[in-house]
Homo-oligomer: A and B are copies of this chain.
């Protein structure tokens, strides 16, 4: 099999039969008490909770995305839990996205690339999220490291939050918006290394909450994989994510709270059965997405 990130990614989605990414954003106050009782150190509780989720869904989904803020809260211990979460997910055959939205000038970006995309690095992941407000030279070190190691990245283009319009929707003198300009950059940054799957290893983050903008971006970025947050808790539905796909592929839809803390809202489950609830939530999301793709 090709070691190109987009090919590994596309194959994983095909193997599992659904484009679902589970966001691992553990909030201590929502972690079941039986886990916290056994793990008095919060960072240990985060890791134990994540392992329970991963065990319950790894045969169903291709991708997981731990969001680092929820681990940084617990300092170095939390970052150890972050590292162990990435390792555990990887050992279960899952593609990992380190959701860190890193960004800096070139010489510093090289440091981040070493921390996340180097083989054997403490936070090694298959890919990471980036913010390209600084332009190309802040992205280049990630592109180089990713290309060398069969890794990938997802760059913020049109984010799912209400205020994303503040800067991203501002219209330029040539008629395009900032998110369209960013989309063109992202497309070009990966254009010289397209995998057999037809996709590049430089992906884009495009929110499920803005389907009209997503449709425009799908045209601008024909070879780009879309990471789509905003489904579920943030308000996006299956119809909303549809424009992110191209013939049913080329995108991955993330759900975090809606899956990991499904036990709080789903009839017939409680904190003891949080993992089973997460599994059921994945199966429901799979059906929901299958209805439109």
Contact = CB atoms under 8 A, between A and B. Distances in A.
B170 A69 contact: no
A88 interface: no
Interface string A221-259: 000000001000010000000000000000000000000
A66 B178 CA distance: 31
Given A69-B112, A173-B172, A137 B162 contact: yes
A11 B205 CA distance: 42
Given A74-B122, A172-B173, A173-B171, A135 B165 contact: yes
B101 A103 contact: yes
A72 interface: yes
Nearest to A78: B122
Q: How many copies does the complex hold?
A: 2
A19 interface: no
A66 to B, nearest CB: 12
Interface in A97-140: 101-106, 108-109, 111-112, 114-116, 121-123, 131-138
Interface string A56-74: 0000000000010110111
A109 B115 CA distance: 22
A32 B293 CA distance: 58
How large, as a class, is the contact surface on chain A?
Answer: 35 or more
A108 B168 contact: no
Contact of A156 (B72, B77, B134, B161): B134
A75 B67 contact: no
Given A79-B75, A172-B170, A25 B108 contact: yes
A160 interface: yes
B135 A168 contact: yes
